[in-house]
Amino acid sequence: MIILGLNAYHGDSSACIVVDGRLVAAAEEERFTRIKHWAGLPVRAIAYCLEESGAALRDIDHIAINRDPRANFIRKSLFALAKRPSLRLVTDRLKNASRLGSLADLLATEFGVDRSGIRAGFTNVEHHTAHLAGSFFVSPFSEAAVVSLDGFGDFVGAMWGVGKDNSIDILHRTYFPHSLGLLYLAFTQYLGFPKYGDEYKVMGLAAYGEPEFMGLMRRVIKTPEKTGSGKSSPKLFELDLDYFIHHSEGVTMTWEGGEPLMGPVFSKKLDRELGPARKAGDEISQRHMNVASSLQRRYEEVLFHVLNEVHQKTGSRNLALSGGCAMNSVANGKIFQHTPFSDIYMQPASGDAGGAIGAAYYVWNRVLNRERSYVLSDPYLGPAYPDDFIARLLEAKAEELTAQGCAIELIHDETELCRATAQEIANGLVVGWFQGRMEWGPRALGNRSIVCDPRRADMKDILNLKIKRRESFRPFAPSIQLEAVRDYFETDYPDPFMMKVYSIRPEKRGIIPAVTHVDGTGRLQTVDRECNPVYWLLIEEFRKITGVPVVLNTSFNENEPIVCRPQEALDCFLRTKMDLLVLGKHLVRRTGTA
């Protein structure tokens, strides 16, 4: 039984393929198109998944899509009648929905096959249901509270319920126009970060400010008080809609193939009460930092309110969290402190890309009623390239490499390769590290990473000067051997997908300053020897040299999607000031003689 899962015509378009209940391959379309957050039909990602599985389009039994235009139709209709949105807005939504209804024809055209050759059944899964399924059905839990929070999908901003075995019982929906994700988007735009997916910048900026605007924040989004009987309100949270325009004027969105674009969602009332919005490129003032800090603090208050309500209703100690809000790693790292949950699972692509996996497993577990047998613990689901492929690339680029003063070394022994690389990291070099299969999700997890020495306080500035050219307030992440977490972090809980920020022990902050944020935290990745033995060995060799079982890990890119192919890794190396590139077993070293 082969299931193709899709996130199509939405930001972070993606595809995955499930064969007899096992996730064989998954990838975001942006890695192939080289356009961040690419929106449209993920043709290249589909082609990769088919190739990896050895299947053709005609072999697919089910195609699952993480959107259902029919979901919540009555509520959508009543809202449209009451608000009478513009004809342009209605036309845009209908046009987007119509593509989902003609996917078979679109796929046949893109892959050059006859429509009759596609025998798969098509299943549309409500957006947030796919989020819940994409977390719970691939989690290690047999039962859990399941929560999805993001912007909007199929007219819903939040959903929660209970997962048990191969079923999910949905107990609550928060409908449009209320959304915790939209709150964060509005203030991200207000702070002058207009691009789709820029929320993570605000999260990093927040650590530099003070939450001086909490009064305003608590007016903008309210959480209901307990009643006198102690019973909870049916509403999880509620936006003060005077601060927003998405419900009244609508929001322009472009999902047609290329970079997704969204118009502003905040109203002029926010400008009047908080001061003028920052324009992209303007200097960031302390006021902006304080707005970011206040937003993050209020987001956390609302998140913990939601999770405590869910725990009270479900009684579960396990939490499967999903949706775009699950990418807020700062808040995620505080869930243990502020809620009764003792175990948490989030898949590596908890945002919209992960809906492809959710849709596929919804079909496997709910539609086909199959038992669960797979846990997503290995995030390396993308393409891999053998050493002979890399050798041919380097041979073809030999003239250019020589012109740039580069020397190539081939090291067959894995331990020696890691030892040589670790020594150069300890020497202060900036190393591009390209190994095995590409990671699934937005984080570089040791196969498409730039790796550096975390002990150097100046490494953040070196990286930004040589390669990243990004905002100075954004932190870099530590990759740490799983067995050493308790020695360096105040919370000893595995996080192989880099989804949580924890406090670094005060006595260790001076040892690893390059990965210690201004507030003493780090967004860690725990590296398990069994899951990624080569990356673990690299850190082990670095530990033997320095005594520190941690390396700085940042994504292998330069203001573009994370590199996918060796060609992109080599191009990034050559156009930046990276010192060393490790492509499989090949070391490309700048000798400085050009």
Whether the Cβ atoms of residue 246 and residue 182 lie closer than 8 Å to each other = yes
Beta strands in 524-583 (DSSP E): 525-527, 550-555, 580-583
Domain boundary among 128, 155, 187: 128
CB proximity list for 225: less than 8 A, separation 6 or greater: 233
Cβ atoms of residues 440 and 31 within 8 Å: no
94: pLDDT strictly greater than 70: no
Q: For 508-541, write each residue's pLDDT tens digit.
A: 999 999 999 999 999 999 999 999 999 999 999 9
Q: Do 276 and 415 have their domain in common?
A: no
What's the pLDDT band for 98 if we cut at 50, 70, 90?
A: low
Q: Which domain holds residue 156?
A: 131-349
Q: How far apart are CA 492 and CA 488, in angstroms?
A: 9
As a whole number of Å, the end-to-end CA separation of the chain is 55
Residues 257-274 have a mean pLDDT of 92
CA diameter of the chain? 78
Is 369 a domain residue?
Answer: no
Render pLDDT for 362-377 as a digit per residue (tens, 0 to 9).
Answer: 999 999 999 999 999 9
Side-chain half-sphere CA neighbours of 8 within 13 A = 30
Same-domain pairing of 411 and 546: yes
Domain count, the chain: 3
Q: Are residues 510 and 410 in the same domain?
A: yes
Which of 35, 38, 34, 29 is closest to 11 using CA atoms?
38
pLDDT tier for residue 205 given thresholds of 50, 70 and 90: very high
H/E stretch holding 157:
strand 156-164
Segment among 65-74, 382-391, 480-489 with least mean pLDDT: 65-74
Residue 314 lies in a domain: yes
pLDDT at residue 488, as a whole number? 98
How many CB atoms are closer than 10 A to CB 585? Answer: 17
On the question of pLDDT at 342 being above 90, the answer is yes
340 and 393 belong to one structural domain: no
pLDDT at 594: 44
pLDDT band with cut points at 50, 70 and 90 for residue 83: low
Return phi, psi of residue 253, to 5°.
-140, 140
358 within some domain: no
Residues 96, 227 share a domain: no
- 19-23, long-range: CB < 8 A, 24+ apart: 19/53, 19/55, 21/364, 21/370, 21/372, 21/373, 21/374, 22/373, 22/374, 23/138, 23/357, 23/360, 23/374, 23/376, 23/381
Structure confidence by residue, pLDDT tens digits, 458-505 = 999 899 888 877 888 899 999 999 999 999 999 999 999 999 999 999
- The C-alpha atoms of residue 69 and residue 315 are separated, in whole angstroms, by 33
Q: Kind of pairing, strands 14-19 and 22-28?
A: antiparallel
Shared domain for 90 and 166, answered yes or no, is no
Per-residue pLDDT at 73: 83
Which two three-digit tokens encode residue 462? 């070196």
Quick one: 463 and 579 in the same domain? yes
Q: Is the pLDDT of residue 11 over 90?
A: yes
Residue 95 is predicted with a pLDDT of: 54
Residue 227 pLDDT class (50, 70, 90 cuts): very low
Given a cut of 60, whether residue 86 has pLDDT beyond it is no
- Answer yes or no: do 268 and 233 share one domain: yes
Whole-number average pLDDT of the chain: 94
List CB contacts of 221: < 8 A, sequence separation 6 or more: 180, 183, 237, 238, 239, 240, 298, 302
- pLDDT tens for 434-459 read 999 999 999 999 999 999 999 999 99
User: Same domain, yes or no, for 70 and 185?
Assistant: no
Strands (E), 465-578: 477-481, 501-503, 521-523, 525-527, 550-555
Check whether 255 has a pLDDT greater than 80: no
Question: Which is more confident, 313 or 258?
Answer: 313
Flag whether 492 is in a domain. Answer: yes
229 band by pLDDT with thresholds 50, 70 and 90: very low
Q: pLDDT tens digit string along 549-565?
A: 999 999 999 989 999 99
Report the CATH number that the domain containing residue 50 is assigned in CATH: 3.30.420.40
Same domain, 536 and 496: yes
- Residue indicated by tokens 């199929």: 154
Question: Does one domain contain both 271 and 178?
Answer: yes
On whether the CB atoms of residues 158 and 171 are closer than 8 A, the answer is no
Residues 486, 492, 496, CA angle at the centre, nearest 5°? Answer: 105
Q: Supply the angle between the helices 387-396 and 566-575 in degrees, to the nearest 10.
A: 40
Residue 431 lies in a domain: yes
Chain position carrying tokens 């850190």: 539
Give pLDDT tens digits for 111-161.
Answer: 999 988 899 999 999 999 999 999 999 999 999 999 999 999 999 999 999
pLDDT score for 80: 75
* Residue of 462, 299, 448 lying closest to 382 (CA atoms): 448
Burial class (CB in 10 A: 0-12, 13-18, 19+), 215: exposed
- Determine if residue 185 is left, alpha or beta; phi over 0 gives left, psi from -120 to 50 gives alpha, anything else beta: alpha
Last residue of a domain, one of 77, 98, 128: 128
Query: Is 162 part of any domain?
Result: yes
Q: In three state form, how does the secondary structure of 376-434 look?
A: CCCCECCCCCCHHHHHHHHHHCHHHHHHCCEEEEECCCHHHHHHHHHHHHHCCCCEEEE
Q: Mean pLDDT over residues 405-413, rounded?
A: 96
Q: Which of 259-263, 305-309, 319-323, 496-500 has the lowest mean pLDDT?
A: 259-263
CATH number at residue 491: 3.90.870.20
Whether residue 564 sits in one domain with residue 525:
yes
> Residue holding tokens 């608590």?
218
Last residue of a domain, one of 73, 103, 128: 128
Residue at 109 is within a domain: yes
CA distances from residue 79 to 23, 84, 237, 557 in whole angstroms, order as listed: 39, 8, 19, 43
